[in-house]
Structure 1
């Protein structure tokens, strides 16, 4: 029976060696972090002061102590869209939807996470955007919000947000107001008013055009009258007689006419009779 039993003989210290190898693999896996494109990382020191605010790690392969933790966040430009109900200057509730582009300061990522937490968008960005939007929209009427003031409102909201987030390690790059929704009755009234204003502008344009055309025709007529007056003053009887004679001679040369000169016309001009 002893012959049928298989005996496993490990080398002396083999179990300990396997244990060491496994431990090294585990420690290595916990000590290495790969930070992806457009990301940054900060170290949370478990036995230290928490978030290390002195250094932000960039893209690539990084090594940290196995008892610490690397917190990785996006540091490239990002966007967030939202829709909120706000009040216009006359107290009418409007719904504004827009998009904000932002990015954390790379070198201050540790301070941002330490002071505002990992969810700093909800803790810091959203309240600032909402406050700025309510402040700015509250300065305008629904008609201004709906029509011509969109670009001005965007810039004012951006200025307000940047002011609120100053020294907060989060940079807002741009604000876009995508849509302003008004109650149907108010929207219809505004559209009707805008249409009437457009028609009025078109009518005024036609009137101005007609007035300019009348002025042009008047100036043209006055110019022609002045020219005729000058021409009439310059035509003496002698000049007219000479012109008449020249015209008569030209007619006489025509191959299609037979010219007969009979006697004398008024003022000594010949009388021309002819046929085809």
Structure 2
């Protein structure tokens, strides 16, 4: 048997070597059509050109990340299943017949489980053939119900929400679903649609901005008027409180009470470390006035001040010994120590 195999090999060795060389040559030539790489965040669809008897409906299959080997006559379609963003400018017409441009920004992702259906019905160019036309059609339909000024000012969010709802609502046979839509057959999930820029005619834009500025000025004046009104009410309430306080406290305040409070204040000042001169008033109930003086002047103690304030007023008769000229006023006294 061994001799037989050796004889066969020697007989067909040149044909075998030639066949191997042909296969290596074809592998090098057809390498790019046989071996494919699916990067991270991508998925692929492999379409088979020939039908097999045991699987007559088997035309395409999904391929995950990594190296994929196919027959040279099959087709390989690579899809990016990550979140993608696109900006597109559309020409629209408002309710009053004004033509202007709106720039839309929309984000989407492809559903990897339904790539075969997307590849069969739309293909790799689904952005230009499905997404952009569908969003543009809905945008023109929605904008036609609004005035240009409303779109430029306070209706932008409402228009964005309405566009998103109509594109993903299921009323259009576009296989585009919303973020939380898990229905079968959805090939593209639309994340959001944003109106990033509204390009109105310059004259209209200037007029709208001037109107908004005037509205803000009116609101500012109204705020000032309301602030002054509240301030007036506050002052009125404060004045009423002061009046009620005075009406309540005034009957209980007497001259003796005020004199006693003055004595307490004088005693507290006299007990401080600062040098001072105490000048007693020229009336029977006059309160002392304490002034700063130079260093080295002896301060009166609290007992002497209290005694001088509580003694009867006998200053009506001038003392010739202490005031020979009779120049001191009755009832006044200077105390220095």
Query: Do Structure 1 and Structure 2 share a fold, with TM-score over 0.5?
Result: yes
**Taking structure 1 as the reference length, what is the TM-score of the superposition?**
0.80
Runs of at least 5 residues in structure 2 that lack an aligned partner in the other structure:
1-12, 178-184, 271-275, 285-311, 316-329
Alignment TM-score, normalising by the size of structure 2: 0.67
CA distance in structure 2 between the aligned counterparts of 1:251 and 1:45, rounded to whole angstroms: 111
The DSSP-based 3-state class of the residue aligned with 1:124 is: helix
**1 or 2 for the larger relative contact order (CA 8 Å, sep ≥6)?**
1
Alpha carbons 2:91, 2:99 under 8 Å: kept: yes
What is the Cα deviation at residue 184 of structure 1? 1.4
Q: Does 1:36 align with 2:54?
A: no
Gaps of 5+ in 1: 1-10, 263-268
- Bigger radius of gyration among the two: 2
Q: CA deviation at 1:172?
A: 1.1
Task: Give the corresponding residue for 1:201.
Answer: 219
Larger mean CA deviation between 22-31 and 221-230 belongs to 22-31
Residue 62 of structure 2 aligns to a residue in which SS?
Answer: coil
Corresponding position of 2:82: 76
Give yes or no for the alignment of 1:233 onto 2:233: no
* Structure 1: distance between partners of 2:164 and 2:129: 18
Aligned with 1:256 (options 262, 265, 278): 278
Deviation of 1:97 (Å): 0.5
Which of the numbers 136, 139, 152 marks the counterpart of 1:133? 139
Answer yes or no: is the 8 Å Cα contact 2:283–2:332 preserved in 1.
no
CA shift for structure 1 position 204: 0.6
Quote the offset at 1:120 in angstroms.
1.6
The alpha carbon displacement at 1:118 in A equals 2.8
Structure 1 counterpart of 2:119: 113
The count of residues paired between Structure 1 and Structure 2 equals 257
Which of 21-30 and 70-79 deviates more? 21-30
More helix by percentage: 1
Which residue does the alignment assign to 1:46? Answer: 49
Of residues 142-151 and 60-69 in structure 1, the stretch that sits farther from structure 2 once superposed is 142-151
Q: Distance in 2 between matches of 1:173 and 1:31?
A: 36
- 1:274 equivalenced with 2:332 (yes/no): yes
> Is 2:128 the partner of 1:122?
yes
SS of the residue 2:64 aligns to: coil
Equivalent residue, structure 2, for 1:189: 207
Deviation at 1:178, TM superposition (A): 1.0
Alignment RMSD: 3.1
